[in-house]
Structure 1
Amino acid sequence: MYKRLKILVILLISALVSFILYGSSVFLITTINTMKERELFCDEKPLTLYQPTQSCRTTIVTAYYVIKSKYPKEDYIDWIANFLSLKDCMVVYTSTELYQTIKSLRPDWFPLKIIVKNLEDLHLYQALTPEEWGEQERMDRELPNGHNRLLYIIWNEKSHFLHDVALFNPFHSEYFLWLDMGALRHNRFNGKFLMQSNLPAEKGILLLEINPFHEEELILENGICNTDFSKVERIGGGTIGGDLESIRKWTSYYFTVFRRYLSEGKFVGKDQNMMATVCIETDICLIVKPTSPWEGNRWFFLQDYFLGRHNQKPYRLNITENREYLTVSD
């Protein structure tokens, strides 16, 4: 009787051990297969690709807020999905209600920092009173095209966004690029690194030339450019690149010009107007002239430029004639 009981216990233990080993092997095989499927999907090794201590040479900075626009929201969602498929390190400013939308459109293993900052908390939202923003709307000749005070606020906030990210530098980068989130209106770059080449060798703020400056626009009176850029297009505002030092100086001078425009009763809604003035007065701008002929949309030329498809060297506006490189207090 005792021997039979002993044999029964041994058989039960053997069966239990076999069951545990079998279950472990099934779990291991399933885990390995799942990892392989995930690797095939992203064409990378997601468990090791982006560690918390990762450094990226360039950080892309952008923002998305729902405001009145000439384009339907559905178009923006498609463009944002294209944008968020880029593998570059990325910081996105957005509102509380859009946090999950941004998070869901970005692959989990791609580097992303989302900063929740609602519209009413932005610097420019509080810079003018509602009455003053209303006056800016009355000055805007493009108001029928969908322009409004919230758009002005976001346009002018770009320099603050870029400056703040460059300061806290979550990805330990040496270069920072503002890129409008609605700028990727195709899927040709999906799943790629955008910032592959053509980072400037010298310090400065890299911008796109939309149309060349005219000679009479470059005149300085006591160091001040009095040209009215509200009716012409010279500099593109959708892409702004620079190192930390240059971004700090750019931001300081940009808002010096912003305040001067206000005091002179000029239109401050469109950032490109003040960007042109800053470029002329400071020598800080490195300007890229699109290839001619250029078949694509000229406003988006810098995307192909950073991908290395065009290699022209940016030129610096040396209007101030040997003036020491921008000495504005930070």
Structure 2
Amino acid sequence: MFSPLLHGPRTFKSTIYLFVFLIVLYLIYIETTLPGYNRRLTTPPNHVSSSPSTAPPLALKPTSPPAEPRILLVSALFPLAKSKHSHEDYENWLGKFLKSITTPVYFYAPPSLSSMILSLRGSLPIYINTTFNSPFDISPLRGLENAYEHFHTIDREASYHNPELYAVWNAKPWLLDSAIKHLEEEKGEVYDYAFWNDAGSFRYDHVYTEWPNPSRVEEVWNIGVERVVEAGGFTESRGKMKNHLLFFPFTGMFGWAKRYWKEDDGPVDMDISEGSFFGGSPSTVSWWSETYYIYHDYYLRKGYFVGKDQTLINALFLLFPERVFGIWLDNPDATRIGIPGFDVGSMGKCGPPWWYYQWFLADGEERSVMSEKWLKDSNDYKSWLWQGWEWWNQRQECRSTRVFWLKDKLLGVFGRGWTVNRNVIV
């Protein structure tokens, strides 16, 4: 018979506690007497053995770099009855464009020029559209010959302009937009960016090939978006903002007095925009083309001179600055450390200022090669003229200017309260 003391509540609890205590002591004894106890105790808790593992390595999914944007260049050549440049000049300039630039090209020309263009292009990608014999054949300009003849009578530069040249200039937005749409509809080819490039814009020797360089274009657009964000103009997703921006090179900037310009004041006859190169996403190119001809026709009806595309572009800059970004070689906001005031250019030796954008949008290695070439040519030319004046003869390599968002630039010039009321397109 069991003792009644062992059945009491207090005695039962004590027995349980004693039993648990003995088990804990036993486990401690077993743990501390196992082989290798001291080694495991002194091993840092986060130590990872360097001995080869017999387990198979984890299979990492390979990551591919993001695809470069697809870029299309669009250009045209229509013979003029009267031109500042000869046929030989244009053939020479075309060769520097078509023989060297590997980017796909969509080219408008009359049938009489197609064989020459194909010969210059060789095996590089090109699509030639021979539908139009004259820029007056495109839909926005059809039937405007008489109006453009009148423009020639009021053009302050009539001595070296003519009605056909006005038509060539004003055809660019439509030709660019039409090329993008045609390739997508007929060929199934879709591009991320498309640019108008004047046929005669490559006038000097260069080393550019894949131009404008896709990675550089992407970089410039990303900087453009950052400029919008920095200025507080960020109201949509970055992707949408990037898709809405239109790139233009600038040759100057509006003065303070233009803050009083109004929509009905018409085209702005100043050296601001460059019409030889511009572009963006397909949707932005379409917007630009539609907007351009709406205001072209509006100002034409009001009797304004709209023969020179730059003057109309300048007006659109004032009306839609939020859609435009670009570069300006002489931008005072650009960093110029180490460039003396007597240098050949505000950003060093950069070749012809009008075509600075060609260098700016090129691959980094090609920019370096061209910078060295320009610097060598400049120093070689001046060495005989300024012997003993090395401090004067020395020039700086070409540098990148600052990308800017036009709306922010204009607010800085005109004042933060500046705006232009739009009535034609709200």
Counterpart contact for 1:225–1:280, Cα < 8 Å: no
Shift in alpha-carbon separation, 1:56–1:165, aligned structure 2, 3 A:
farther
Distance 2:271 2:175 in 1: 23
Correspondence 1:174 to 2:192: yes
- Aligned with 1:123 (options 109, 122, 139): 139
Deviation at 1:161, TM superposition (A): 0.8
Within 5 A, what are the aligned runs for 1:38-77?
57-67=70-80, 68-77=82-91
Within 5 A, what are the aligned runs for 1:1-330?
57-67=70-80, 68-85=82-99, 86-108=101-123, 110-116=124-130, 117-119=132-134, 120-128=136-144, 130-145=145-160, 147-169=161-183, 171-189=189-207, 192-196=209-213, 197-199=216-218, 200-201=221-222, 202=242, 203-219=244-260, 221=262, 224=263, 226=265, 228-230=267-269, 232-282=270-320, 283-290=322-329, 292-293=346-347, 295=349, 296-308=351-363, 309=367, 310=400, 312-317=402-407
Runs (5+) with no aligned partner, structure 2: 1-67, 223-241, 331-345, 368-399, 412-416
Q: TM-score, normalised by structure 2?
A: 0.58
Q: TM-score, normalised by structure 1?
A: 0.74
Shift in alpha-carbon separation, 1:294–1:240, aligned structure 2, 3 A:
farther
Counterpart contact for 1:206–1:241, Cα < 8 Å: yes
Distance 2:122 2:424 in 1: 41
Distance 2:311 2:261 in 1: 16
The alignment-based identity, stated in percent, is 23
Counterpart contact for 2:75–2:199, Cα < 8 Å: yes
Deviation at 1:312, TM superposition (A): 2.8
Distance 1:294 1:328 in 2: 42
Distance 1:167 1:131 in 2: 30
CA RMSD of aligned residues (A): 2.6
Distance 2:76 2:272 in 1: 23
Distance 2:283 2:148 in 1: 31
Deviation at 1:328, TM superposition (A): 9.3
State the AA in 2 paired with 1:212.
Answer: M
State the AA in 2 paired with 1:208.
Answer: P
Deviation at 1:243, TM superposition (A): 0.5
- Secondary structure of the residue aligned to 1:176 is strand
Aligned length: 266
Higher helix share: 2
Deviation at 1:211, TM superposition (A): 1.0
Distance 2:292 2:259 in 1: 17
State the AA in 2 paired with 1:239.
Answer: F
Deviation at 1:217, TM superposition (A): 1.5
State the AA in 2 paired with 1:207.
Answer: F
- Secondary structure of the residue aligned to 2:278 is strand
Counterpart contact for 2:191–2:282, Cα < 8 Å: no
Distance 2:195 2:281 in 1: 9
State the AA in 1 paired with 2:303.
Answer: G
Deviation at 1:176, TM superposition (A): 0.4
Runs (5+) with no aligned partner, structure 1: 1-54
Q: Which has the higher contact order (CA 8 A, sep 6+)?
A: 1
Distance 1:259 1:102 in 2: 33
Distance 1:247 1:268 in 2: 20
Counterpart contact for 2:74–2:179, Cα < 8 Å: yes
State the AA in 2 paired with 1:236.
Answer: E
The aligned residue for residue 8 of structure 1 is none
